[in-house]
Structures are given as C-alpha cells and as structure tokens.
Amino acid sequence: MSFTKYRFSISIAVVCFVIMFGCNPSEKEISVKKEYVTWSSYLGDPGRSHYSALSQITKDNVQDLKVAWSYEAADRGQMQMNPLVVDSILYGVTAALRVVALNAETGKEIWKFGDSVKVWHSNSRGVSYWGKGKDKRILVTHGPYLYALDVLTGTPIASFGNNGKIDLRSGMPESEKEKFVISGTPGSIYKDLIVMPLRLSEGADAAPGDVMAFNVITGKLEWVFHTIPHPGEKGHETWNDSTAYKSPLVGAANNWAGMAVDEEAGIIFVPTGSAAPDFYGGNRLGSNLYANCLLALDANTGERLWHFQFTHHDLWDRDPPAPPNLLMVERDGKKIPAVAQVTKQGYVYVFDRITGKPLFDIEEVPVPSSTLEGEKAWPTQPIPVKPKPFARMSQNLTEADISQFAQNKEELLAFFKSADKRQYAPPNLTPNFLFPGYDGAAEWGGAAADPEDGIIYVNSNEMAWKLQVSLEDAVINGSPMGEATYQKYCVSCHQADRKGLPASGYPSLIDLQLRKEKNEVLDVIVKGNGMMTGFPQIKDDEKEALLNFLWGQEVKQNVAEKEDLDSARPDSRKKGYKHTGYNKFLDSNGLPGITPPWGTMHAIDLNTGEYIWSIPFGNTPELGEQGVGTGTENYGGAVVTENGLLFIGATRDGYFRVFDKHTGEILWEYKLPAAAFATPAMYEVNGKQFIAIACGGEKLGTEKGNQIVAFALE
C-alpha cells in the first residue's frame, strides 16, 4: 500500500471557543505544529502522541544503537511506566512504586522517593510534571494518595495538601471513602490543575468513578464530573434505577486508562470504564451513561461538551483501554482537529475534536439479547464503518482457525463448536468465546500517532478467552467464615480449588504458607497487587478467617452468618450471577488455541480509513524456528518519529525493536534483560538523542527484571 506523507503548517486562529463564545465550531482552527522534542508529559505530550521530532537516529544508522546506560532498581517485577525527562533528569517508577530521579545522560541516581512511605503493590505507568517559574513538581500516586515532590530533591512539598499529599478519596461522598481507590496512570495537567485517573473495584462494591480535578499548587479539589449522573444531570435518565448514583450495588464508570488534553481549546478527553459490577447488569439496567464513553470536558470547569458511548450497558468489560490520540486529519482538502480512540474490540473511533461529530460513519448494529433472569442487554451496539477492525472477530472464525500447533486440537475444537461466538453475545451460564479477549486487541499501551499526518500505529493482541457466569449461591448459616469469604471475594480468579489461573496471571494459592507470611498476604488483600484490586471493606474477623482458610487452619466453629442475597436485589431479579474467572483459550502447552498471528502491529491512515501496513508482531520462542513470525501477546506502546522510525518493546519474547514506520520492515532488534511491558521515552541531552525503556518482565510468565535501559548511537 502506498504511503503519503502530509506536510502542512496551520496558523493559530484560536479566537473563540464553541461553548463559551458561541462560535461556529467548524470555523475554529487549531495550531498543531509543535516542537515534539521533549518528553515531559506522559506518552510524550498532552495529546498522547508517543511522537518525537528528534532525528539523530535514522534508518541509515539505527543499526549502530548501543546501550548508553542502565539503572538497576531496588525492586524486581513488572514496570509499566513511561519515563519523563525534564531538564536532563529522567523520572521513573519502580515495581514497588518508588520514584527515582536519574541523570538522563548517565543513568546515575539523583534521588529516590518511597522508602519512607507504605509500599503499595500495584502497577504504575509513571508520574506527572508541572512547572511554573522556579516552582517545579513531580506528582505521583501511592495507593489512594497523590504526592507533590520537588523535582530536584524528591522531598514532598509541604504546602500541597497535608504535608505534601492529598487523599484522592477526598472528593468522594463520605460513604465511599473506605472503598478501594488507587491510581496507576499519571494525572493530566492543564494549567494549574491535575485531573486524576482512578482505579476502582470492578465488583458491586465499587466506588463511583467521578472525574476529579485538583489544584496542583494547593491540592484543593477544583471540580468533579459525575460519570454516574445525579438527579437533574444529563444522562441520569439512562439508568433505570434513579438511585444508581448512590446505590451500594452499583459503581465505577471510572477513567483508569488516562486522558488527553487539547491545551489550546481547553478540552480534556476522558475515556471511561464500564459500570460495576462488570459482567451482570441486573442492578444497573439502561444504557448507563457515562460508562464506556469518550467524554469531552471543559478542562477549566469539568462541564460536559460532548460524549460518545462505545458500548451500551456493558456486559463484557469493554472499556477503552488507553488514552485517546489527538491529531489532525484531512477531509475534503481541509485539516480537521480530531481525536481517535482505540478499543479492546479492535475498532478505531475518530471524531471532530470540537464538535464530537464522527469522521467515519458509525452504525448501531443489532446484537443478541440476554437470557439471564433480571438482565436486559442493550439491543444495539455502535460499530464504525471505517477503519476495519485491527483484530480478527470471533464471529468470523471457523474450525480452520484452531491452532495447527495444538496437540489437543480435538479438545479445543469441541469447546469452539459449543461456545457462543456471536459478537456481543451476553454472558450466560454456558460459555462464550470472547475474541478479542478481556484485555483486548488494543491494551493500555495504546496507539502512537503522527499528529500532523493523521496516521496511528497500534499493536494488538490476538488472544481468545472464555466468558461465562454461574449462579451466585447465598452464604448459608453454618459455613466456615474463611471459606465463605474466599468464595465471595477470591474464587473467580483463584478458582474453587485455589490452583488459580497461572496462564492468565492469577497465581495458585496452594501452599501459600510456604511462600508468604500472613502479614504480607493481609497487605495484598487490603491493598491489591498488580491486576488484583484490594478489598479494604472486608471486616477484620473475615480477614482473619480467610487467612486461616488459606493456611489450612480454618476454625470450623467460626461460622458465617446467613447472607440473603435476594434481599439486596430488585424484585425482578430472583437469582444472582457471578463471573467464573478469566480463562484464556489455550492449548495443552499454554499457547493460544487459535492460529497465528497472536500479536500484530498496524499503521492506519485516518485520513482515508485505510491500512498502510499490518504485520505479525513478535515471535514465540517455545516453537523454535516455527515460532518466528507467529506474533505474541504484547503490552506497552510504541514511539514514532518524524523521520520514519517506530520503536517498541511490549512483546513476551523480550525484544526491543525498531520498524520502518512507512513499510513495517524491521530495522533493528535487541534482546532486553527482561521483557519491557512499557512505552519507551525519547529525549535529548547535550545534543545526544536517547531512548529509554523500563524492563520489569513478570507479566505473561516472563522472568522478573529491574532495569531501566537507555540506548543511543555510539
């Protein structure tokens, strides 16, 4: 496919704002020509472009890249963070959420923050930077707390909140302040505000996912947008239960993936997650605004300007997995400021950034109805006409798509034949074949963009999963409390036999007492760990009983009280349902049960909606020579350069690769010390161009690592 590169320069003509000043939005122009030579914002710039205009590294010399420096962190394990570089200092976050400031030219540690605060076992995608004059701050989260640190010393700034920190729950209703609330993605900076993503529970105990903006200088809460609308707010009518906004059985619709900011227009673009609980919506009937939406908010006030909902009444956890990309696209010879959102479903939705008008047609397509008692799936779902999906779809697979490498092919085929493969088939008591899977085609690494040329580059997973629910049994009087607590909170991930789902990232709890101390496990139960959310709401006697159950020390006389589940439900719901767990569709060797490619990379021209190229991404070492070109699961994003390069780690095979962004041809690869499930950062110090990436491994069963590695030309 031919590649066309657009060059343009648009003059600044931002003289009015559509809502505030009543201008015709089609007449508004936005300047897009920027330097793109720094990396002081998450993913490179507020528009989340993953883009750099630095040009010292070229297609002609990329083979000469060498390790310039490496830094060994004190903590081993997964690092998802995208480093920031400000004034020749690189800021990153380790596996145990310690913030490190390094000399960006040498990798030498300047300071470290986190030794004196409680360690929270969760993933962090990095920090935020704000500066005004001599006041320069790094903002980072530890659990529910947001800290403001001095950029040069790492010391908390005492004037921010309470001696340098604020509680992210401070903007929530009093009834929600003991629930699980953390943040794993850097906040978005606009003027003197930071707007915070929140990670919440995905069960019925979830807090509401309000979007909250705090003052960077004082820590004061400045504005709140209710993603589950309150009475009198637009969207309230989309919840059949008018009390959903305060219901103890409904929550979330939170932004966890991060946001993009149009600084000139003063708009923040917020992709929101699904309403909770995830896989059964009997308590939240309706289309459920503003869950599963792209929200365009006035960044000054939090006022809604426009929205689009990607999934109505989500029953599949189909929340947008990454921040959107801000870029310019061409229509009828004119450049239009656009926002593009990649999704777990493998779709790309593209909108006029100011008006919210789709730039490719979107059709409401009829989808299957639900058969579960009390559930009512939404009758249609919105699917864009262009671009075509960047992942295969379950409904298009045939028996020929069962993996040729599988030794248990008949077993896989039997499941494939029996499972419901229809797109948007609601969860049922019998299994669904969910493809793309729970983590998506697109994942939290998101897409890279040529912001001036209207092209995005997105890596994708091709992993099928099994989706099923089962009847939720009431806890009966006389059951041991520890076992009952395990059934209530743990069984869907760690399974009834406690063997877990290691291939899906959920470890076995068998013989836990041989690996962990009770206080360590208690800490994880309360705070969460990696993918696992915490359960701070569990009562003390339940925690003690759960630990005794896991240790094989259950006191049989310590019984749970009867819990009448039906009494907490609407009259229309006679039964309750629970998710049976996150099970991948794997062969007997732990490899994907469908044919390759199992990971792909794509370049999509959003001016036309056509693909420039698509390639398998990564190799499968277990298959030896046969595994070359099969693609592999991948998590983390790319960096694309103006002069034609695309840099990315992300793959399970642990390589760092550079591609020709015009053709998809691989130009260079390097075996990292551990797999890099993170997006790299590109920067320049003293006239030398570097690219740095965090290598933490651990995910997808890879070895744990602890290094940040920077590359440069010799």
Residue 545 clears pLDDT 90, i.e. is over it: no
Which distant-in-sequence residues (6+ apart) come within 8 Å of 511 by Cβ?
none
- Of all residues in the chain, the percent with pLDDT exceeding 70 is 89
pLDDT confidence of residue 540 = 78
Side chain identity at residue 334, one-letter code: K
The whole-number pLDDT of residue 33 equals: 52
- Mean pLDDT across the stretch 618-625? 96
Task: Tell me the pLDDT band of 570, cut-offs 50, 70 and 90.
Answer: very low
Amino acid 533: pLDDT: 72
pLDDT higher at 687 or 510: 687
Which residues fall within 8 angstroms of residue 21, CB to CB, at 6 or more apart?
Answer: none
pLDDT confidence tier of residue 29, bands split at 50, 70 and 90: very low
Q: Please, which pLDDT band fits residue 35 given cuts at 50, 70 and 90? A: confident
Q: CA-to-CA distance for 127 and 109, rounded, in angstroms?
A: 17
The DSSP code sequence of 320-359 is --S--EEEEEEETTEEEEEEEEE-TTS-EEEEETTT--BS
Q: Give the whole-angstrom CA distance, residue 291 versus residue 251.
A: 10
How do residues 297-311 score in pLDDT, each as one tens digit?
A: 999 999 999 999 999
pLDDT for residue 5 is more than 70: no
Give the pLDDT confidence of 147-166 residue by residue, as tens digits. Answer: 999 999 999 999 999 999 99
Strands of 65-72's sheet in order across: 65-72, 704-713, 688-697, 681-685
pLDDT digits (tens, 9 = 90+) for 386-428: 999 999 999 999 999 999 999 999 999 999 999 999 999 999 9
Percent of residues in the chain assigned helix, strand, coil, to nearest 5: 15, 30, 55
End-to-end CA distance of the chain, in Å?
35
What is the predicted pLDDT for the residue at 668? 98
CA dihedral 565, 569, 571, 576 (to 10 degrees): -60
Given a contact cutoff of 8 angstroms between Cβ atoms, the answer to whether 182 and 199 are in contact is yes
Residue 460: pLDDT over 50: yes
User: Residue 120's CB: how many other CB atoms inside 10 A?
Assistant: 21
Confidence band, pLDDT 50/70/90 cuts, at residue 364 = very high
pLDDT single digits (tens) 311-345 = 999 999 999 999 999 999 999 999 999 999 999 99
Q: Which phi-psi region, left, alpha or beta, contains residue 482 (left: φ > 0; alpha: ψ -120 to 50)?
A: alpha
d(CA 254, CA 276): 10
Q: Are 319 and 343 in contact (CB under 8 A)?
A: no
Residue 610 has pLDDT above 70, yes or no: yes
Q: Give the 3-state secondary structure of residue 472.
A: coil
Distance, in Å, from the CA atom of 456 to the CA atom of 223, rounded to the nearest integer, reads 32
pLDDT average, residue stretch 123-137: 97
Contacts of 266 (CB under 8 A, 6+ apart): 17, 190, 298, 299, 300
DSSP 265-332: TTEEEEE---EESSS--TTS-S--TTTTEEEEEETTT--EEEEEESSSS-SS-----S--EEEEEEET
pLDDT computed for residue 22 by the predictor: 39
Sign of torsion, CA 667 673 676 681? negative
How confident is the model over 349-353, as a mean pLDDT? 98
- For the stretch 573-590, pLDDT in tens is 346 899 998 999 999 999
Q: Which two tokens stand for residue 404?
A: 């040729």
- Reading the block at residue 693, the tokens are 């990436």
Q: What is the pLDDT of residues 485-506, one digit of tens each?
A: 787 778 777 877 787 766 666 7
15 pLDDT band (50/70/90 cuts)? Answer: very low
SS3 category, 649: coil
The answer to whether the bond into 387 is cis (omega within 30° of 0) is yes
Give me the chain's average pLDDT, please: 90
Closest CA to 450 of 33, 26, 31, 62: 33
Residue 572 predicted with pLDDT over 70: no
Give Cα separations from 87 to 38, 39, 103 (angstroms).
10, 10, 10
Residue 184 has pLDDT above 80, yes or no: yes
Burial annotation 270-291 (CB, 10 A radius, 16+ → b, else e): bbbbbbbbbbbbbbbbbbbbbb
Domains and CATH numbers, the chain: 18-357+435-464+592-713 (2.140.10.10), 475-563 (1.10.760.10)
